[in-house]
């Protein structure tokens, strides 16, 4: 049994095509240029399932991937493109029997999620005087991760989580066995790179929002630098904006890494990876 990673979405915050845009990539016929917002479905060797991020495309993503059960959800950070589909977890709580789903994130994000979705996360939001009427709410239990790189266990699976700089916020970097998922960050701090090198990463999924550089994300420049430094067996670029054509970016990766051991590729929606 292998660890399986299903790419539910590979796009940046706008998705690709971007609404109202008629650029070459947004109007491209290549299905690999159609990108929902970035998220994943991870299946471990023991058969445990983890949804990573609840994007505004979540319902369409889960239907397309034919995912019928969610056991655990990990939220990397509170940006709308990674969080605002959280209501779509509701049907997984309906049952029978009705059940509560655990959601895991770091402290800053947990606070923000409670403020943004008080009807889901604030205890006593509904009470005897104000009962839930109508269709119900997602029953989610919010759990805080330490996210300090130490071993943390969810549903019996070992993870290491890191806090990555992402503009004014922090985003989770996720490691499970020899897989690392670093989807939203503008840099990777030195001590974390050291950790990744020590782990001998087989598959690194890394932010690459555009050619060159970007203030709150990695662009090709820094993403390539980090891949060379971390030197995983394989590295997949993700969180691409509409400035990046799939085939052109693939060619650029081949050129840039022709003398390196790492196989670098561009992820796309519906891609299945194994580790």
- Contact residues toward Zn ion (CB under 5 A) are 79, 81, 184
Angle at 12 between CA 162 and CA 271, to 5 degrees: 85
What's the closest the beta carbon of residue 194 comes to Zn ion, in angstroms?
A: 24
Q: CB-wise, 10 or 44, nearer to Zn ion?
A: 10
What's the closest the beta carbon of residue 78 comes to Zn ion, in angstroms?
A: 8
> Going by DSSP bridges, is the β-strand pair 179-182/203-207 parallel, antiparallel, or unpaired?
parallel
**CB of 61 closer than 8 Å to CB of 8:** yes
What's the closest the beta carbon of residue 238 comes to Zn ion, in angstroms?
A: 10
Q: Nearest-CB residue to Zn ion?
A: 79
Q: CB-wise, 34 or 157, nearer to Zn ion?
A: 34
Q: CB-wise, 14 or 262, nearer to Zn ion?
A: 14
Which uninterrupted H or E stretch holds 72? strand 72-74
What's the closest the beta carbon of residue 75 comes to Zn ion, in angstroms?
A: 11
Sign of CA dihedral 174, 204, 192, 156: positive
**CB of 270 closer than 8 Å to CB of 9:** no
What's the closest the beta carbon of residue 177 comes to Zn ion, in angstroms?
A: 24
**CB of 188 closer than 8 Å to CB of 164:** yes
Task: Tell me the angle at which helices 220-230 and 246-256 cross, rounded to the nearest 10 degrees.
Answer: 40
Q: CB-wise, 88 or 207, nearer to Zn ion?
A: 207
Q: CB-wise, 117 or 157, nearer to Zn ion?
A: 117
Query: N- to C-terminal Cα distance for the chain?
Result: 9
Tokens of 207: 């932010």
């Amino acid at each position: 049994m292998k660890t399986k990673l299903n790419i539910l979405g590979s796009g940046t915050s706008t998705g690709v095509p971007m609404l109202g845009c008629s650029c070459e990539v947004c109007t491209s016929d290549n299905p690999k240029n159609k990108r929902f917002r970035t998220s994943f479905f991870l299946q471990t060797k023991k058969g445990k399932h983890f949804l990573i991020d609840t994007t505004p495309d979540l319902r369409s993503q889960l239907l397309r991937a034919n995912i019928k059960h969610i056991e655990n959800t990990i939220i990397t950070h509170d940006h709308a493109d990674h969080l605002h589909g959280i209501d779509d977890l509701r049907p997984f709580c309906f049952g029978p029997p009705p059940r509560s789903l655990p959601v895991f994130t770091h402290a800053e994000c947990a606070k923000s999620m409670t403020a943004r979705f008080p009807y889901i996360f604030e205890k006593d939001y509904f009470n005897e005087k104000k009962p839930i009427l109508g269709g119900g709410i997602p029953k989610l239990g919010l759990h805080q991760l330490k996210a300090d790189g130490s071993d943390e266990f969810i549903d019996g699976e070992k993870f290491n989580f890191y806090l990555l700089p992402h503009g004014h916020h922090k985003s989770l970097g996720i490691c499970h066995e020899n897989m690392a998922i670093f989807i939203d960050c503008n840099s990777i701090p030195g001590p974390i790179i050291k950790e990744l090198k020590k782990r001998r990463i087989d598959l690194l999924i890394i932010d690459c929002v555009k050619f060159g550089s970007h203030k709150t994300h990695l662009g090709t420049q820094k993403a390539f630098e980090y891949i060379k430094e971390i030197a995983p067996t394989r590295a997949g670029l993700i969180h691409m904006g509409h400035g990046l054509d799939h085939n052109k970016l693939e060619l650029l990766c081949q050129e840039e890494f022709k003398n390196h051991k790492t196989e670098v590729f561009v992820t796309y929606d519906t891609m299945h990876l194994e580790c």
